[in-house]
Amino acid sequence: MGKVHEGNSNTEDKKTEFSLVRVKSTWKSKLGKKINKDAVDSVSAAKIYESITDRGTSWTVVSPITFTYKVTETHDLLDPTNDTLLLGHITDPQHLEDIKKSNKPIRRFVVIDQEVFKIYGPKLTEYLEANNVVYKILALPITEGNKSMETALKILDDVNNFALDRRTEPIIAIGGGVCLDIVGLAASLYRRRTPYIRVPTTLLSYIDASVGAKTGVNFANCKNKLGAYIPPAAALLDLSFMQTVPRRHISNGLAEMLKMALMKHQGLFELLEEHGCMLLDTKFQADNTLYGHSSVKVASQATHIAITTMLEELAPNLWEDDLNRLVDFGHLISPALEMKVLPSLLHGEAVNIDMSYMVYLSHECGLLMEEEKQRIISCMVGLELPVWHEEFTMELIQKSLQDRLKHSGGLVRMPLPVGLGQAEIFNNTSFDILQRAYIKWCEELSVSSDSTCDV
């Protein structure tokens, strides 16, 4: 028989708050909230709370961590007279001035997608040499299929051989979203956190992967199952890279742009609805033939709105502490679909198929009018995005939503449009509604009239 405690045990916390102050290079605990700042060198934002019960003492550490990173749109990033690639991440004016005055050569380790290197390798090399940079360029074949820890470790091995200084020499990643994700994870692992710079060369990475804090690789046949929330020191955006991107990849990026439009911004939706074909034709570049200068204005508006709305959602929630995230729209079923049919679907294409189904689900729930549903689907088709896939089955939907319950605090947290440019999070969508929406989706959008739905 266990011991019986008689009487009332005093297990109530006696919590004491300590501030942390620095005096002559030493941090000390100071009782209470009032600190004579004249008597100390600095006061930390961190706190230590000491709790004493009859069972012992515990310490709760509250240590606010602030990440500062820049998202900068620039032009002609690889022009040797443009120092943004080398110095654009620096926020302290004095630090910047000191570097410019120093005779010490700048050192940079660059990881670049092999296909991007074939196009921009000579220009990148010329840029680095013109600026007297001591450099190492690692060009790798980077695909969703080799988005793995093996690739990250290959990068880290070369970083280590370069003897990179993690304080002053950020790793530069140049490529699409897969490249930026892998390099970001590798940087976060090297000496626990080495700064890195993202240079997106696809539209999808320009408005999505480049502006957030996520890094990651695929693991156990699951997309981005290993990763960390470590934002770059800077994301440097140059739309001129889009001119060499294949049309399909421009369409792929437009899917993530459309996601933000449907969730947050009707004006962006109307831009894509009206000018999507022009954006595909011009690849977000100036066009002096068919469209004139209006192409530049629309491209600038669309990317600016997409990035702003994305940052609005990400900045307050970089670590995804709040699991109710509008940016998850199109990402409930698509990760499983993408991995299942790899490499036949690009990321944005899989996301759009997910969004297409969710639009039907929203209509079935009475959240979207028929006219709104049709406008959205027509916009997707106009952006040359797939709206249906035979492997997107009810079985896949159910399994994905069950998996989401495990990782989202027991709730589905399903973002759905409730109008053009408006959305809410839902948790109680019944199987019956999911299935009815799926059947209508298949009937109206399946690629051939004799296609059957797996229900």
Same domain, 215 and 337: no
Same domain, 307 and 235: no
Domain end point (choices 212, 245, 278): 245
Same domain, 240 and 229: yes
DSSP string covering 341-360? HTTSS-HHHHHHHHHHHHHH
Average pLDDT over residues 54-77: 92
Same domain, 19 and 110: no
What 3-state class would DSSP assign to 13? coil
Residue 336 forms part of a structural domain: yes
Residue 128 forms part of a structural domain: yes
Could you give the count of Cα atoms lying within 13 Å of 206 in the half-sphere of its Cβ? 29
What distance in Å separates the CA atoms of residue 199 and residue 74, rounded to the nearest whole number? Answer: 11
Domain tally, the chain: 3
Domain end point (choices 32, 62, 92): 62
Same domain, 289 and 171: no
In this structure, what CATH number is given to the domain that contains residue 218?
Answer: 3.40.50.1970
Can you give the pLDDT at residue 288? 67
Domain ranges, residue 358: 248-446
Can you give the pLDDT at residue 450? 42
Q: What type of residue is 186?
A: A
Residue 6 forms part of a structural domain: no
- For residues 295, 297, 298, 300, the Cα torsion angle rounded to the nearest 10 degrees is 120
Q: Which of these, 190, 223, 224, 214, lies nearest to 111 by C-alpha position?
A: 190
Residue 451 forms part of a structural domain: no
Domain end point (choices 62, 78, 98): 62
Phi, psi of 170 (to 5 degrees): -65, 140
Can you give the pLDDT at residue 66? 87
What distance in Å separates the CA atoms of residue 94 and residue 88, rounded to the nearest whole number? Answer: 14
Please state, in angstroms and as integers, the Cα–Cα distance from residue 119 to each residue in 112, 113, 126, 142, 263, following that order: 11, 10, 13, 15, 35
Can you give the pLDDT at residue 374? 98
Residue 86 forms part of a structural domain: yes
Strands (E), 346-413: none
Same domain, 80 and 112: yes
If you ran DSSP here, which 8-state letter would residue 53 be given?
A: E
**Residues with catalytic annotation?**
214
Give the range among 70-74, 101-105, 189-193 with minimum mean pLDDT.
101-105
Average pLDDT of every residue of the chain: 92
Put residue 59 in one of left, alpha, beta given phi > 0 → left and psi -120 to 50 → alpha.
beta
Give the range among 32-41, 44-53, 176-185, 368-377 with minimum mean pLDDT.
32-41
Average pLDDT over residues 91-105: 89
Same domain, 134 and 230: yes
Same domain, 378 and 414: yes
Please state, in angstroms and as integers, the Cα–Cα distance from residue 244 to each residue in 236, 251, 389, 411, following that order: 18, 14, 28, 42
Can you give the pLDDT at residue 300? 94
Same domain, 231 and 354: no
Same domain, 25 and 120: no
In this structure, what CATH number is given to the domain that contains residue 440?
Answer: 1.20.1090.10
For 320-361, how does the pLDDT look when each residue is reduced to its tens digit (9 = 90+)? 999 999 999 999 999 999 999 999 999 999 999 999 999 999
Average pLDDT over residues 294-312: 94
Entry field: residues in the chain: 455
Same domain, 318 and 344: yes
Can you give the pLDDT at residue 447? 66
- Between 138 and 221, the more confident residue is 138
Please state, in angstroms and as integers, the Cα–Cα distance from residue 410 to each residue in 76, 326, 438, 440, following that order: 47, 17, 23, 28
Q: What type of residue is 87?
A: L
Across 409-423, b (16+ Cβ under 10 Å) vs e yields eeebbbbbbbebbeb
Lookup: tokens for 411:
């709730």
Residue 9 forms part of a structural domain: no
Average pLDDT over residues 92-110: 91
Contact criterion met (CB below 8 Å) for 230 and 188? yes
Same domain, 317 and 367: yes
For 430-446, how does the pLDDT look when each residue is reduced to its tens digit (9 = 90+)? 999 999 999 999 999 99
Residue 2 forms part of a structural domain: no
Residue 455 forms part of a structural domain: no
Can you give the pLDDT at residue 13? 60
Q: Percentage of residues in the chain with pLDDT exceeding 90?
A: 82
